[in-house]
Structure 1
Amino acid sequence: MNSVGEECSELKKTYDTCFNRWFAEKFLKGLAEEDKDCNNIFTAYQSCVKKALKLQNINITEIEKDVLGTAEENQPPPHS
């Protein structure tokens, strides 16, 4: 599947490959330490996606809000 922004698709594929390799070769074998290379690729991909969403006038404020452990957690969505 391609990314939300075509310009981000190659980064997404690179990250997916990195993550899948880490998951299969490390995580499933009990080695849960993070892969710094995958983290760096993810950060670049995340930045690209945020930029693409902004260019498409998609507001991401609501999805970035931290609600875990707050009164908003497990609340039904507001009615539109």
Structure 2
Amino acid sequence: MSSSIGEKCTQIKQEYDGCFNSWYSEKFLKGDASPQCDDLFFKYKECLLKTLEEKKLDTLLADARKDNPFPASSSTSSASSSSESSKKN
């Protein structure tokens, strides 16, 4: 498994990756979607956010999201399209 962007986060990333891979293959693919690795995920996420802040990457990510936001989901897009076309009529 690969290292994390933050050296401090690599251990928790590896624990989360192992947990997720086991959950996915042993539970999720057999129909059990109950969460199993949430605690590890949130610890890893917290570590990543701190690392991004320390490396001053958090502001770059925020700027990139403003410049090029993720597109809306298809259900939202179609709803707004149909509402705009009804305004034109």
Q: Same fold (TM over 0.5)?
A: yes
- What is aligned with 1:5? 6
Cα distance change of structure 1 residues 50 and 21 upon mapping to structure 2, 3 Å threshold = same
5+ residue gaps, structure 1:
72-80
Q: TM-score, normalised by structure 1?
A: 0.73
- What is aligned with 1:18? 19
User: In structure 2, what is the Cα distance between the partners aligned to 1:43 and 1:67?
Assistant: 25
List 4+ stretches of structure 1 deviating above 3 A: 65-71
Equivalenced residues, count: 68
- What is aligned with 1:43? 42
Deviation at 1:66, TM superposition (A): 7.3
* Cα RMSD (Å): 2.1
User: Percent identity over the alignment?
Assistant: 37
Q: TM-score, normalised by structure 2?
A: 0.66
SS at match of 1:32: coil
